[in-house]
Structure 1
Amino acid sequence: MTAISLKNLDISYGPTKVVEAASFDVAEGESFALVGESGSGKSTILKAIAGLAPDWTGEITVLGQPRGHRVDHGFASRCQMVFQDPYGSLHPRKSVDRVLSEPLKIHGISNRDARVEDMLAAVGLDRRFRFRYPHQLSGGQRQRVAIARALMLEPKVMLLDEPTSALDVSVQAEILNLLKKLRREQGLTYLMVTHNLPVVSFMCDRMAVMHKGRIVEIAPASALHDGRFQDPYTQSLYAASGGNPDRKD
């Protein structure tokens, strides 16, 4: 089954078209990356899928259901987004417990206490963190909470917008390993935005390369090991990364 399908997607901010004719499919259970320079339109695609960039034309389908242009509570139970900045994505005056309980309350889901504690455990946080506030957490702990919040409604599709780029290097690997573990255990599909080719090599099965709002190439992540790319822009990105992103000099 196809988890995400985009066909001829154009996205605009006012009079400015920032994504043009984007088309790709992500299979259920796959981890798929959008890569490219800043401003290429990667995050804008995630925002359109999530309902945060409503000025678009074309087709967006998630788990067989067409995506509308308005906020859809049913969509929230199928697809959730984890944002780049764990400092900005959590309300500073809401405890971890409230952050995780709110989606359950909105959707009328019971047994909230057990679900909150189970999800904290799933992201590697024990019960001590439940009633803490964001300012009492490290960056990595905040991102774990953000991931837990996204998983509270048990979605099958996760949109990941540079989920480790705002974290210290020492913490990035922990979060990536956590995401890989959750994907395996919960059967998740990932659509990930990143500019970091080693992250793509570690996390993803395939990648779409974006340049100036257009997808110029779709390739297997394994191409990062041998450089077998077709588009000149993709080849330049690969060369700028030092060739094989896993190579240790």
Structure 2
Amino acid sequence: MSAISLQDLDISYGTAKVVEGVSFDVAEGESFALVGESGSGKSTVLKAIAGLAPDWTGGISVLGQPRGHRPDRGFARRCQMVFQDPYGSLHPRKTVDTVLSEPLQVHGLGNRDARVEEMLGAVGLDRRFRFRYPHQLSGGQRQRVAIARALMLEPKVMLLDEPTSALDVSVQAEILNLLKRLRAEQGLTYLMVTHNLPVVGFMCDRMAVMNRGRVVEIAPAAALHDGSFSDPYSRALYAASGGTAHD
């Protein structure tokens, strides 16, 4: 069974079609990237899967369950999203404890204290951070809290929208290493949007290259090491990145 399956997905904003005919499957446990320049439609695909871009046609399924156009509480138990901006994704007047507890309260889940502390530990934050506010945290710490919040309901699929691009370079590596470790420890499937090809080389097994709302090529991450792309746009993107990605 695929963790994520998209079939002939079209997404519109008003009368403008911004994604057209996108189809791919992500295997359970795989880390799969959507890459392309700004405006290529890659983040819009994530938003449609997450239910944040409801004007779409085609097919979306996650862990074998079709995704409808309406809010779906059960979906939140299977799939969660981590956003690009850790400054904007956390409520400024809510403590870390409140942020992490809310998903449990919404879904009627107990054992709150133990679960909050367990997730803080999983993302490398000790219990001292539990009752702090976002303004008392660094950017990297905020993103760790955002990742912990996404994991509170024990989803198996994570949507990652440029999860390190708003962070200092020194902190980016810490967050990428954390995500890589969590995937291994919790058996997670990742669908990651990024324009950073070295990140794909470090984090992902395969990638779909998007250009102007369409997938032009699906390639293994190994193509970042040997340049074995078939589509001209993919080759140009690879060349523009310096033609190399690091392990």
After TM superposition, the score normalised by the length of structure 2 is 0.99
**How is 1:95-106 mapped onto 2 (pairs within 5 angstroms)?**
95-106=95-106
Residue 181 of structure 2 corresponds to residue 181 of structure 1: yes
Gap regions ≥5 residues in structure 1: none
Counterpart of 2:91 in structure 1 is: 91
Counterpart of 1:15 in structure 2 is: 15
**How is 1:122-137 mapped onto 2 (pairs within 5 angstroms)?**
122-137=122-137
Measured after TM superposition, the shift of residue 45 of structure 1 is: 0.3
**Aligned residue type for 1:200:** V
**How is 1:154-169 mapped onto 2 (pairs within 5 angstroms)?**
154-169=154-169
What SS does the corresponding residue of 1:175 show, helix, strand or coil? helix
**How is 1:1-249 mapped onto 2 (pairs within 5 angstroms)?**
1-246=1-246
Q: Distance in 1 between matches of 2:189 and 2:70?
A: 23
The C-alpha deviation readout for 1:199-225, integer Å capped at 9, x for no partner, is: 000000000000000000000000000
What SS does the corresponding residue of 2:4 show, helix, strand or coil? strand
Across the aligned residues of Structure 1 and Structure 2, the Cα RMSD in angstroms comes to 0.7
Q: Distance in 1 between matches of 2:157 and 2:107?
A: 18
What SS does the corresponding residue of 1:102 show, helix, strand or coil? helix
Q: Distance in 2 between matches of 1:241 and 1:114?
A: 44
Q: Distance in 2 between matches of 1:125 and 1:161?
A: 22
Q: Distance in 2 between matches of 1:107 and 1:159?
A: 20
Measured after TM superposition, the shift of residue 244 of structure 1 is: 1.5
4+ long deviations beyond 4 Å: none
Aligned pair count reads 247
Measured after TM superposition, the shift of residue 142 of structure 1 is: 0.1
The C-alpha deviation readout for 1:52-83, integer Å capped at 9, x for no partner, is: 00000000000000000011100000000000
Q: Distance in 1 between matches of 2:245 and 2:102?
A: 40
Gap regions ≥5 residues in structure 2: none
Measured after TM superposition, the shift of residue 245 of structure 1 is: 2.4
After TM superposition, the score normalised by the length of structure 1 is 0.99
